[in-house]
Amino acid sequence: MAQNDTAVGTMREALANLVSAGRSWLAALNMRRTHHDLKGDLQIQERNAAQDVEDALHVVIAHKEQQHLDDIAVDGTAEAMKQRLAEKRAEGRGGWHDPEESTVEYIAALLVGAVVKGKPIDVANFAMMLHQRGAAPHVLTQALITHCYAAGLPLADPGWNTEEVEAWSTDDEEFRHHSLEELLEENDLLKVGDTVYLGQATYPDPAAFFDADDVLEMVGDRGADEGGEFADGYPDDLDEEATSQLDRFLQAWLRTHCAPRFFTVTNSRPYVLTAADFPSDHPAGGTHA
């Protein structure tokens, strides 16, 4: 039996063969029941047809045992994706692979639009395009934020983790490590009895660096440069909700794209290294100052 390239195609063929064998067996059975079979030829045909049904059934069962449900589901979705792409090509659509025709930002916007419209196959196809184009994760995040802002919807704010983490230093001035192990690995000269410093590090929330008031002040200044006294009070007629909407957008954007790699340190205190702090195979282990 010929095998298709996909699990779904193979299963469909196996089921089609099973149905065909079943019909042949029913035909042979009816023939034997309605005709005289003095020589037993019809009985042999029925027996052979029943064997074909059994063989076809074994193929279906074997296929189900070999193929994981995940693979079958992915192949089935891929079939639907290919069909949808073919329909769009027939309409003259294409060019997703060409950066000069379709930017990844444009494709990401189409994906978000497909989500809003409830079209999962379109979502899958646009996701495939972004994957094949090697789009950075923030491209899709930004497309979602932009859509929410344009639609006046609550923005997807990733929030900000203000939890303190450890920070270690050799001189109580530059804290470059988040664990004692990391500090020891990058400072080979440290030994038992030396003093290092442990503090609490906090990464600042980038949303605190810029807000709606900053934007509106800048807009006002630019307006004054253009309109002079006629721009007094510009931008005006902005209610509290409009300002709040801009704040939410800025917070989400800043937290998504401007996460600081730096941090502030508080509660620094000295820590004297002991032999237990060093790995057993470290030269400093067991050495006293």
pLDDT digits (tens, 9 = 90+) for 7-53: 556 767 777 887 887 788 888 788 878 877 767 777 788 788 788 87
Rounded to the nearest 5 degrees, what angle is found at the Cα of 61, between the Cα atoms of 26 and 124? 110
Taking alpha carbons only, the member of 160, 161, 165 closest to residue 200 is 165
How many Å apart are CA 51 and CA 59, to the nearest integer?
A: 13
| Dist. CA 261–CA 279, nearest whole Å | 29
Contact 31, 45 (CB under 8 A): yes
Ranges of beta strands (E only) in the chain are 165-169, 195-202, 264-272
Per-residue pLDDT tens over the stretch 215-246: 999 999 999 999 998 989 899 888 888 888 88
The residue ranges of the chain whose pLDDT is under 70 are: 1-9, 11, 38, 63-67, 149, 152-159, 281-289
Q: What is the pLDDT of residue 2?
A: 35
The confidence score (pLDDT) of residue 222 equals: 93
Give the per-residue pLDDT at 225: 94
Residue tagged 């074909």 (tokens): 52
pLDDT confidence of residue 8: 59
What are the percentages of helix, strand and coil residues in the chain, rounded to 5?
Answer: 60, 10, 35
- What would the two tokens of residue 269 be? 């205190």
pLDDT for 1: 33
State the pLDDT at residue 4: 38
pLDDT at 30: 82
- Which residues partner with 234 through β-bridges? none
How confident is the model at residue 9, as a pLDDT? Answer: 67
In 10 A of CB 8, how many CB atoms?
A: 20
Q: What is the pTM of this model?
A: 0.44
Q: What is the pLDDT of residue 134?
A: 87
